[in-house]
């Protein structure tokens, strides 16, 4: 006797949504083919959506746009508020700025949102129940791109962290958790070492958490936090970090979920947002119709939620889950025994389109409630309180390579330098105190931080150039200075050993 299959019941495609245009950039490598596949699904699920195609990536670069996107791309994003962007190739060599970094900075896309979800057993995962969202600050930190070579041996990168930058990313993380019914936000920093920069991020996180009493808040040091993400991601729900840590952590999270090739991401700003896959342009498989379009498709789902078009977003998401469950897989996730049909890029997208209106059987179905919060968090930020700022010293960085780099020789020369209220205090090399005192084993570079300090009321702004003139007259090569201030009496600088 043959089994009688229940007829498939399809929910209808939503027809009553307002017309809306979004900017689309196909990008490089596999970008054009996965973008074509994704636009096909979008056209089926959301017929009122239209697309303005713009050029970003290599083609734009080769036609003279150093940023990798032309003015028409920027205009289109500004006009439509969103862009769905395919991966772009970053050529090596100078002159080319990353398209993503340029977009993020120009458009103020401060929040990078990356869900890392396991789709076990359809996509094998070390952590079958993993469901974590990493929210990374997107504009500040070492990514400000302010780097200098100061001596023969020493280069530096400035790590800039601002209170408004911390406020909006931390608030975004809690708003995201609230909008998605998530229960905990974990902040990860290295505030035990970088007490001022990462310390500020942690402090703002803790201040922000007080406004969300229903959501648990915890802070972890980034190193153990990353290790835990790899070994026990079940302990995390939403994670918020400064830029660099988030860059690394979000890849670790996506990798251990088993689905880095399937992950989409959102870059959210106050006025604009950019949606893209996590993976790159995969030049090794470009043009062969074998790339998996899932990362860009899930990014498009996030975009639809961001635009408030929850019905087509949920419909595409569920059709995609069902396609995975049905074993219709592109080569990258094809596993004998689990997969049933190996398909190319366009056939995979067609399989998703055929399933629009169906629900997954095994994997948790997407719900319309899983919207991207369209936040205007700037509005809820308190104005910064002005602290009383007093000049109490000067750090002078010297390029000095004499006398066998003996710090005592340099120290004795500096003992005689004095300007107004500023007087010599100590020397460090790579953050380690080498004079007075010091340890002969300490490696000494040609870059010396020499601290001059004084009493709060006793140092004047004029003492700074006066001191620098004296150092120049003494034949010393000043490569950089930092003023030392107290704010309401609290030092706004690290102690001699970075502590």
Residues noted as catalytic: 143, 190, 223, 247, 251
Number of chain positions touching ligand NAD (CB under 6 A): 18
281 binds ligand NAD (CB under 6 A): yes
273-277/82-85 β-pairing: parallel
Among 38, 54, 291, 377, binds ligand NAD (CB under 6 A): 291
Among 67, 90, 243, 267, binds ligand NAD (CB under 6 A): 90
Query: To which residue do tokens 């419909």 refer?
Result: 315
421 binds ligand NAD (CB under 6 A): no
Among 23, 60, 89, 358, binds ligand NAD (CB under 6 A): 89
Between CA 417 and CA 478 the distance in angstroms is 14
95 binds ligand NAD (CB under 6 A): no
285 binds ligand NAD (CB under 6 A): yes
Residue nearest to ligand NAD (CB): 280
Cβ of residue 276: shortest distance to ligand NAD, in angstroms?
Answer: 5
Q: If we measure between CA atoms, which residue out of 173, 260, 243 comes closest to residue 208?
A: 173
189 binds ligand NAD (CB under 6 A): no
292 binds ligand NAD (CB under 6 A): yes
Which residues share a beta bridge with 427? Answer: 435, 450
Q: What is the dihedral of CA 122, 126, 128, 134, to 10 degrees?
A: -110
226 binds ligand NAD (CB under 6 A): no
Q: Quickly list H helices, 120-196.
A: 163-179
Between CA 276 and CA 281 the distance in angstroms is 11
323 binds ligand NAD (CB under 6 A): no
Q: If we measure between CA atoms, which residue out of 319, 283, 328 comes closest to residue 298?
A: 319
Provide the 8-state DSSP code for 68: S
Which region, judged by CB under 6 A, interacts with ligand NAD, from 88-96, 149-157, 374-382, 446-454? 88-96
Cβ 35 vs Cβ 26: under 8 Å: yes
264 binds ligand NAD (CB under 6 A): no
282 binds ligand NAD (CB under 6 A): yes
105 binds ligand NAD (CB under 6 A): no
**Cβ contacts of 127 within 8 Å, gap of 6 or more:** 118, 233, 234, 256, 257, 258
Q: Quickly list H helices, 416-476.
A: 463-473
Q: 3-state class of 450 per DSSP?
A: strand
Which region, judged by CB under 6 A, interacts with ligand NAD, from 184-192, 248-256, 273-281, 426-434? 273-281
Q: Which residues bind ligand NAD (CB under 6 A)?
A: 30, 87-90, 100, 261, 276, 279-282, 284-285, 291-292, 295, 332
């Amino acid at each position: 006797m043959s089994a009688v299959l229940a007829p498939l019941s399809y929910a209808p495609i939503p027809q009553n949504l307002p017309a809306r245009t979004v900017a689309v950039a196909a990008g490089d490598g596999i970008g054009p083919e996965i973008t074509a596949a994704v636009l096909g699904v979008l056209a089926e699920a959301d017929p009122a959506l239209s697309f303005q195609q713009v050029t970003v990536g290599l083609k734009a670069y080769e036609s003279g746009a150093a940023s990798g996107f032309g003015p028409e791309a920027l205009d289109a994003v500004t006009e439509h508020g969103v862009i769905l962007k395919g991966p772009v190739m970053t050529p090596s060599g100078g002159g080319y700025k990353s398209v993503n970094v340029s977009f993020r900075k120009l458009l103020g896309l401060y929040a990078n949102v990356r869900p890392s979800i396991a789709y076990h057993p359809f996509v094998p995962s070390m952590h079958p129940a993993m469901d974590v969202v990493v929210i990374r600050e997107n504009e500040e930190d070492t990514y400000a791109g302010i780097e200098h070579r100061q001596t023969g041996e020493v280069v530096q990168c400035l790590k800039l962290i601002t209170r408004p930058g911390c406020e909006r990313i931390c608030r975004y993380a809690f708003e995201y958790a609230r909008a998605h019914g998530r229960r905990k936000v974990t902040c990860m920093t290295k505030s035990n070492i970088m007490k001022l920069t990462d310390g500020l991020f942690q402090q703002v996180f803790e201040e922000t958490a007080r406004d969300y009493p229903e959501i648990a808040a915890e802070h972890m040091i980034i190193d153990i936090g990353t290790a835990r993400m790899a070994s026990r991601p079940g302990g995390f729900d939403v994670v918020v970090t400064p830029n660099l840590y988030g860059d690394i952590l979000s890849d670790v999270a996506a990798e251990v979920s088993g689905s880095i090739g399937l992950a989409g991401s959102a870059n959210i700003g106050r006025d604009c947002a950019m949606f893209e896959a996590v993976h790159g342009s995969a030049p090794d498989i470009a043009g062969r119709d074998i790339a998996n379009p899932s990362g860009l498709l899930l990014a498009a789902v996030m975009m639809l939620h961001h635009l408030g078009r929850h019905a087509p977003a949920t419909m595409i998401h569920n059709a995609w889950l069902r396609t995975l469950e049905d074993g219709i897989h592109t080569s990258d996730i094809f596993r004998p025994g689990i997969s049933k049909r190996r398909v190319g890029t366009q056939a995979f997208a067609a399989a998703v389109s055929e399933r629009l209106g169906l629900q997954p059987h095994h994997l948790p179905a997407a719900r319309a409630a899983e919207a991207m919060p369209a936040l205007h968090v700037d509005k809820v930020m308190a104005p910064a309180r002005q602290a009383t700022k007093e000049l109490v010293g000067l750090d002078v960085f010297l390029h000095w390579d004499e006398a066998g780099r003996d710090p005592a020789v340099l120290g004795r020369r500096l003992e005689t330098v004095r300007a107004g209220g500023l007087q010599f205090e100590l020397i460090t090399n790579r953050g380690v105190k080498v004079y007075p005192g010091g340890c002969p084993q300490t490696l000494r570079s040609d870059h010396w931080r020499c601290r001059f300090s004084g009493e709060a009321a006793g140092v004047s702004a004029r003492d700074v150039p006066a001191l620098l003139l004296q150092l120049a007259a003494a034949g010393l090569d000043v490569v950089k200075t930092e003023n030392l201030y107290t704010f309401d009496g609290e030092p706004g600088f690290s102690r001699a050993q970075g502590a």
